[in-house]
Amino acid sequence: MARFKSAILGATGVAGQQFIEALLGHPWFEISGLYASERSAGKKYGEACTWRSPAPLPDAIAGTTVRLTDRILDDIDQYDIIFSALPSDVAKKSEGDCAALKPVISTASAFRYEDDVPILVPEVNAAQAPLVRRQQKERGWKGYVVPGPNCTTMGLIVSLKPIQDTVGIKRVWMTSLQALSGAGYPGHPVLDTHDNIIPFISKEEGKVELETVKTLGSFADGNVIPAPFKVSCTCTRVSVLDGHTLSVFVETNAPFTPEDYLAAVAEFNKKCAAEFGDLPSAPKQTIVMKKEENRPQPRLDRDLEGGMATVVGRVRPDPALDNGIKYVCLSHNTKKGAAKGELMAAEYLHKIGLFPA
């Protein structure tokens, strides 16, 4: 089939570069336009940005002229889909303007908490995808906005989904050890992070707590009903380049052993392979289980399945909780938790007939 023409907003930033890397060579989507701020507009992409990926920047992309984000509507008819890597504080207007005409897939939080917007992770909440029709009906849009979750939320919700589907969840506690790349570039000064842990990330805990119950909620009559459990978390920044590690404690609605979790993950992976295995960005195993007592580790495990797997280990009973289980999980924050994860959401929307809009 002819590939869909894609524009990337915020293309010169780190998140925009991640979209470029994810889209290069994609069988369904091609990069047809790159957009950024006035500082970059009018320049060749290779001159406008400092390329941060270890993969080489292709000459064709480097030679593409960057256009002004504020003028995207002048070109909107040229594109089938818009991928937005804009900062959240400026995303709302540009994404909304584009969504009035075309589908917008975003890494930003600008629309995440709107009642008619799904925070779409196909393996977790595919049933919520038709919520985009409510956007079109109530807002009068031809397109829609579909954001992904916060990169910390991603690993948590994927690891919780087999538990929710098997016995249900009563309460969740989580402490994150988040990679430096999650702060963007230039991020934290090196003297703040070397030999140190920063025990606070602005607004992160509230995002995780809200997004977890929304993504794991049910969908009925055009509405998302939040999951009926509470989440408490502490989010910290550690001196790791990529990969968010989470220490998770779960109180379940019925007895649930580590062996039960392993069986639930096996069934979950089987279901995901059947439903999403034909998507180009989908991992073969959605959750990779590690039996070694010292895994997962970011340096060893973050790139499993091309960075699209959630890696879980140290699954054990929690004696302090009624029906308690605890584990450690790892998710690649700049791949599954960012552009590559959003690309999989776009692939799923196409598969079920919601894209093109």
Which residues are catalytically annotated?
A: 151, 244
SS (H, E, C) 42-89: CCEHHHHCCCCCCCCCCHHHHCCECEEHHHHHHHHHHCCEEEECCCHH
Q: What value does the CA radius of gyration of the chain take, rounded to a whole number of Å?
A: 20
Length of the chain: 357
CA distance 177 to 91: 27
Q: Which amino acid is at 41?
A: A
CA angle 32, 51, 303 (to 5 degrees): 90
C-alpha distances out from residue 355 to 4, 132, 143, Å: 10, 10, 9
Of 139, 29, 151, 37, give the one whose Cα is nearest residue 91.
37
Report which of 153, 249, 146, 158 is spatially closest to residue 201, judged by C-alpha positions. 153
Question: Token pair 């047809």 is at which residue?
Answer: 32
